[in-house]
Chains A and B, each alone.
Chain A
Amino acid sequence: MDDFLAARSQMALSLGFHIIFACIGMVMPFFMAVSHYYYLKTKKPVYKNITKAWSKGVAIFFATGAVSGTALSFELGLLWPEFMKHAGPIFGMPFSLEGTAFFIEAIALGFFLYGWDKFNPWFHWFTGVVVGVSGIISGILVVAANAWMNNPTGFDYINGQYINIDPIKAMFNDAWLSQALHMSIAAFCATGFAVAGVHAYMLLKGKNKEFHRKSFRIAAAFGCIAAILQPLSGDFSAKDVAKRQPAKLAAMEAHFYTEKRAPLIIGGIPNEEKQTVDYALKIPGLLSFITHGDINAEVTGLDQIPKDEHPPVAITHYAFQIMVGLGMIMLLISILYFYSLWKKHNLMDKKWLLKLFAIATPMGYIAVEAGWTVTEVGRQPWIIYGIMRTADAVTPMPGIVYSFYLFTAIYLSLSFIVGFMLYRQIKMVDTLYDISEDLSNKQS
């Protein structure tokens, strides 16, 4: 493995790791706020138990996300110094605002986690909401920086110089809205499905039904609404990418030749040498329609893009297929769920539906990782789209491969420990929270 590949792998690993923890930190506070609200309104101890059980999970994920995020702010410079030297002053604005948002999040989390029975209950509840809101703001701001890499604006690039820098204009780049929307909804969808899935599994095992049923309902509502909204935002993103980054769109679709009435290619194995996609399902005209709203519109293919500016087609295409495929499955499950709710079927007796949710537990996060791969790999070979190549940004220090091994070891063991702890948390729910209503009423 050469140093360049090692640097890219380390960055991908760090971001791929961080993104999961960031999503949970953004979304879980809202789930907690809902159950906490029910507790304050109804005084039913089960809601307090749910809030407390979830908050323990959040504390674990938040701490891991916070430190992996700290690491990232250094890794940007450690791995890509040439990029940061030029990009820092241009796209730094969202980062400096994100500092504030994240700071507020950390402060609010301190109040929330350690404030039980110490403050006015509604102030305590409010601090939980602040954790969620500032988390979402942080996420949106970080995505603004990433969107700038896809749509670099707010400066003039003349003779290799970055001049007339306008950081505000750079922050409000055209890619921000579609990317931030897609990412935020994805966070809700993925976390909703993951949490609902775990509780569905516990319901199937028939343990602690009251606790898991109520938890499941809250998480599933968030996850399913997000899953239904996501295709709309995906459509918005696709049109946006088609307009600004035709190479990325062509790689996503494995669309080698420019053509009118372009087909949507589903599945298949792209062959970059022969420029064909084998074993794919092709729906004529649909790609033209999705990207330009007209089945006869011309869609730019990779043939219009210089060979040395092609992103890796196969990876981008597969990742895109995985993301869309999983999104569709989650959409179907969501429709089924709401349909059953509407028909007032007793859901918790429908084992098949709970099984579907249990199976879908990791789907949202796999889709998030796949979508992240699409946007990052699809931008290659550029680190700043059309301006700076990733290969020109890498650190001159040799031996990055060892740093990559080190971070791989750390993140693997952290994932293992977090998984292990989560397993123990869930296992302990019975002992910690399985108390009958009367008894717990007396206790609380």
Chain B
Amino acid sequence: MIYVVIAFLWAAIWLYLLLGGADFGAGILELFTSDKNKSKTRKTVYRVIGPVWEANHMWLIIAIVILFVGFPKIYTLMSVHMHIPLVIMLVGIIARGTAFTFRHYDAVVDDMQVVYNKIFQYSSFITPFFLGIIAASTVSGAIDTEAKDFLSAYVYSWLNWFSIAVGLFTVSICGFLAAIFIIGETDTEEDKRRFIQKAKFMNIAAVITGGLVFIIAYLEGIPLAQWIFGNPIGTIAISAATLSLIILWKTIDKKNAVQLRILAGFQVSMILLSLTYEHFPNIILLKNGEYLSLMEYQGEEKTIAALAWALLLGSLFILPALYYLIYSFQKKGKVH
């Protein structure tokens, strides 16, 4: 049963990266849109993510619940040493969700809209940036459980150049996913071209920040290249991602929405796979060189079994309903 739970944990993170990522990305794109086109972008963004944004963020809750029920020691360790970035991320989540809803449902349209928009755009950037920082910190070996002073225990555990680079990379990935997703949702040729432009821009940003991640990892002595290319799965995954990137660039102007989405989703999935494969089942790498393993730190057998059944049962309800939600609003969105 432990493998069922781990599979769900991975799937929740993966879906959050894809769906939640595209969702954050929509706000990031809005941030990087020229003032002239901002309201156009805003309208498209609203139509596309309005019905699904709340569901997209449920994957984060599923992941966190799996962690605290199934792997409480790992959840606790992260909560203690990642306290500060987690709080910033939470503030981002709160600000973003409320601003997005408020700007649409405020009965009076006035200057408050400017405030809502600004909050929505900046929190769309900050939240995935800190999610990236938190993810990077689990493997950067900066968490020092024996640290006595405040800075080394609670700040340097996450604040370093490597995690900042991963944060920026995460932001670019989110923007890229959103742009690719929205291409298929636009009505006019002009809009399509605008979002293709954005997708290219975000993709270049992702390649640059991705390169930055490797350079900084090398400088800081984090054997990232070895983790990824030290095993066949990681090598294949990254090669496949690169190959699909080339196909994507070759075909992006043909505007085949489904194909573009599959390619972009495939790339991001391969990146996540290559990053997590080498470490499995270890999830956190500590400063003293020890690993926290999902296998070793799992909860009691009965808990894991109950959790696995709850997840299996839940997915019976969630997956068809979620699929129908996304499917019907895509179809209906085009008709109206």
Contacts of B106 in A (CB 8 A): 421, 424
Shortest CB–CB separation between residue B140 and chain A, in angstroms?
19
Is residue B279 within 8 Å, beta carbon to beta carbon, of the partner chain?
A: no
Q: Mark A164-188, 1 if CB is under 8 A from B, else 0.
A: 0111100000000000000000000
Contacts of A74 in B (CB 8 A): 64, 79, 86, 90
Interface set, chain B 136-175, CB cutoff 8 A to A: 150, 153-154
| A417 and B116 alpha carbons, distance in the complex (Å) | 11
Contacts of B66 in A (CB 8 A): 96
Shortest CB–CB separation between residue B127 and chain A, in angstroms?
11
Are the C-beta atoms of B94 and A110 separated by less than 8 Å? no
Contacts of B108 in A (CB 8 A): 424, 428
Contacts of B65 in A (CB 8 A): 73, 92, 95-96, 99
Are the C-beta atoms of A77 and B79 separated by less than 8 Å? yes
B93: which of A62, A67, A88, A111 is its contact (CB, 8 Å)? A67
Are the C-beta atoms of B50 and A92 separated by less than 8 Å? no
| A111 and B327 alpha carbons, distance in the complex (Å) | 11
Interface set, chain B 97-121, CB cutoff 8 A to A: 97-98, 100-102, 104-108
A77: which of B68, B154, B322, B325 is its contact (CB, 8 Å)? B68
Contacts of B295 in A (CB 8 A): none
A406: which of B91, B97, B313 is its contact (CB, 8 Å)? B91
Residue among B66, B72, B299, B317 with the highest chain A CB neighbour number at 10 A: B72
Are the C-beta atoms of B51 and A424 separated by less than 8 Å? no
Are the C-beta atoms of B101 and A96 separated by less than 8 Å? no
Shortest CB–CB separation between residue A133 and chain B, in angstroms?
12
Are the C-beta atoms of A59 and B79 separated by less than 8 Å? no
| A114 and B245 alpha carbons, distance in the complex (Å) | 35
Contacts of A95 in B (CB 8 A): 65, 68-69
Is residue B262 within 8 Å, beta carbon to beta carbon, of the partner chain?
A: no
| A56 and B332 alpha carbons, distance in the complex (Å) | 21
Q: Which of A215-223, A295-303, A376-384, A393-401 contacts B (4 or more CB under 8 A)?
A: A393-401
Q: Which of A38-46, A101-109, A251-259 contacts B (4 or more CB under 8 A)?
A: A101-109
| A319 and B181 alpha carbons, distance in the complex (Å) | 51
Contacts of A168 in B (CB 8 A): 306
| A417 and B108 alpha carbons, distance in the complex (Å) | 13
Contacts of A398 in B (CB 8 A): 150
Are the C-beta atoms of B55 and A81 separated by less than 8 Å? no
Is residue A293 within 8 Å, beta carbon to beta carbon, of the partner chain?
A: no
B55: which of A82, A106, A166 is its contact (CB, 8 Å)? A106
Are the C-beta atoms of B61 and A73 separated by less than 8 Å? yes
Contacts of A165 in B (CB 8 A): 299-300, 302-303
Contacts A86-B72, A167-B306, A396-B80 given; does A73 touch B64 at CB 8 Å: yes
Are the C-beta atoms of B306 and A71 separated by less than 8 Å? no
Shortest CB–CB separation between residue A197 and chain B, in angstroms?
20
The residue in chain A whose Cβ has the minimal distance to the Cβ of B321 is: A107
B68: which of A84, A119, A166, A395 is its contact (CB, 8 Å)? A84
Contacts A67-B98, A118-B336 given; does A103 touch B303 at CB 8 Å: no
Q: Mark B46-57, 1 if CB is under 8 A from A, else 0.
A: 000011101101
Q: Mark A67-80, 1 if CB is under 8 A from B, else 0.
A: 11111011111100
The residue in chain B whose Cβ has the minimal distance to the Cβ of A117 is: B336
Contacts of A59 in B (CB 8 A): 101, 104-105
Is residue B31 within 8 Å, beta carbon to beta carbon, of the partner chain?
A: no
Is residue A281 within 8 Å, beta carbon to beta carbon, of the partner chain?
A: no
Are the C-beta atoms of A397 and B58 separated by less than 8 Å? no
Contacts A97-B310, A395-B80 given; does A110 touch B325 at CB 8 Å: yes
Are the C-beta atoms of A397 and B94 separated by less than 8 Å? no
The residue in chain B whose Cβ has the minimal distance to the Cβ of A57 is: B105
Interface size on B, residues (CB 8 A): 64
Contacts of A425 in B (CB 8 A): 105, 107
Contacts of A100 in B (CB 8 A): 310, 313-314, 317-318
Contacts of A406 in B (CB 8 A): 87, 91
Contacts of A60 in B (CB 8 A): 101-102, 105
| A77 and B73 alpha carbons, distance in the complex (Å) | 10
- Chain B interface secondary structure, helix, strand, loop or mixed? helix
Contacts of B75 in A (CB 8 A): 77, 84-85, 88
Contacts A71-B93, A96-B314 given; does A89 touch B69 at CB 8 Å: yes
A421: which of B95, B105, B325 is its contact (CB, 8 Å)? B105
Interface set, chain A 23-68, CB cutoff 8 A to B: 56, 59-60, 62-64, 66-68
Using C-beta atoms within 8 Å of the partner chain, give the interface range for chain A: 35 or more
Contacts of A104 in B (CB 8 A): 317-318, 321
Contacts of B87 in A (CB 8 A): 78, 403, 406
Contacts of A81 in B (CB 8 A): 76, 79-80
B107: which of A63, A78, A432 is its contact (CB, 8 Å)? A432
| A74 and B134 alpha carbons, distance in the complex (Å) | 13
Are the C-beta atoms of B98 and A414 separated by less than 8 Å? yes
| A99 and B73 alpha carbons, distance in the complex (Å) | 21
Interface set, chain A 412-433, CB cutoff 8 A to B: 414, 417, 421, 424-425, 427-428, 432
Are the C-beta atoms of A111 and B90 separated by less than 8 Å? no
Shortest CB–CB separation between residue A211 and chain B, in angstroms?
15
Contacts of A432 in B (CB 8 A): 107
| A165 and B307 alpha carbons, distance in the complex (Å) | 13
Shortest CB–CB separation between residue B13 and chain A, in angstroms?
14
| A368 and B311 alpha carbons, distance in the complex (Å) | 32
Contacts of A84 in B (CB 8 A): 68, 72, 75-76, 79
Contacts of A414 in B (CB 8 A): 94, 98
Is residue A314 within 8 Å, beta carbon to beta carbon, of the partner chain?
A: no
Is residue B200 within 8 Å, beta carbon to beta carbon, of the partner chain?
A: no
Is residue B83 within 8 Å, beta carbon to beta carbon, of the partner chain?
A: yes
The residue in chain B whose Cβ has the minimal distance to the Cβ of A428 is: B107
| A45 and B78 alpha carbons, distance in the complex (Å) | 53
Are the C-beta atoms of B55 and A93 separated by less than 8 Å? no
Contacts A59-B101, A85-B76, A414-B94 given; does A70 touch B321 at CB 8 Å: no
Is residue A113 within 8 Å, beta carbon to beta carbon, of the partner chain?
A: yes
Contacts of B300 in A (CB 8 A): 89, 165
Residue among B104, B154, B310 with the highest chain A CB neighbour number at 10 A: B310
Contacts A74-B64, A97-B310, A414-B94 given; does A110 touch B51 at CB 8 Å: yes
Interface of A with B (CB < 8 Å)?
56, 59-60, 62-64, 66-71, 73-78, 81-82, 84-90, 92-93, 95-97, 99-100, 102-104, 106-111, 113-114, 118-119, 165-168, 395-399, 403, 406, 410, 414, 417, 421, 424-425, 427-428, 432
Q: A90-B303, A119-B328 are in contact. List 16 more A-B contacts (CB 8 A).
A: A66-B57, A67-B96, A67-B98, A71-B90, A78-B87, A82-B76, A84-B76, A86-B72, A88-B72, A89-B303, A110-B51, A165-B302, A167-B307, A417-B102, A421-B102, A424-B107
5 nearest A-B pairs in the assembled complex, by CB-CB distance: A92-B69, A77-B79, A100-B314, A89-B299, A88-B72
A-B residue pairs in contact (CB < 8 Å), sample of 19:
A56-B105, A62-B54, A78-B86, A85-B72, A85-B75, A95-B68, A95-B69, A96-B311, A97-B310, A99-B62, A100-B314, A102-B61, A103-B55, A165-B299, A165-B300, A167-B303, A410-B94, A417-B102, A425-B107
